Amino acid sequence: MTNPRDDETGDEPALDVEAEFARIVEAYGDQLPEDGPPAPVVPPTPEALTERFRSRGWSDPLNTEATWEDEGHFVPPEPPPLSVPEPRRLVAWLAVLGAPLVMMGMVLLNVTPEAWLSFLLVVAFIGGFVALVATMRRDDDHRPGDDGAVL
């Protein structure tokens, strides 16, 4: 194959792409070192790992005489009781969760709601959502003047 630009200018000889590709394919694999292929990586045995740990002054945590009775059992502390939200937020949550549930119940029971009831459920949902967003706790409320990391 010749490059049409080379024929016009005559500056560079044309590159034979097929011949260059054949040369690359023939030379494939010749880059291995003189010693042959590298040796496969063999994971160390548990005994070799134990010896390496001991040579560094570490103890083998799996080679102990401890029993479960020696360790004791972790008993988590009693969780605190659930806090009851303030009445305004409770009503807002009931509106946000209850209005869609009532509408779905009416759809599943094939009950056609009155127009005023549908309007009331939509207003309750939107009002509850707005009330929850308006009373949301902001980050700067409990850490005034601190914008650093929380650990």
- Per-domain residue ranges of the chain: 87-138
Q: Is 92 exposed, middle or buried (0-12, 13-18, 19+ CB in 10 A)?
A: buried
* CB contact at 8 A, 1 and 14: yes
For the stretch 90-106, pLDDT in tens is: 999 999 999 999 999 99
User: Residue 108: its pLDDT value, please?
Assistant: 94
User: Residue 56: its pLDDT value, please?
Assistant: 81
Mean pLDDT of 23-37: 69
Within 8 A by CB and 6+ apart from 7, the residues are: 14
For the stretch 53-98, pLDDT in tens is: 778 877 766 666 766 666 666 778 899 998 888 899 999 999 999 9
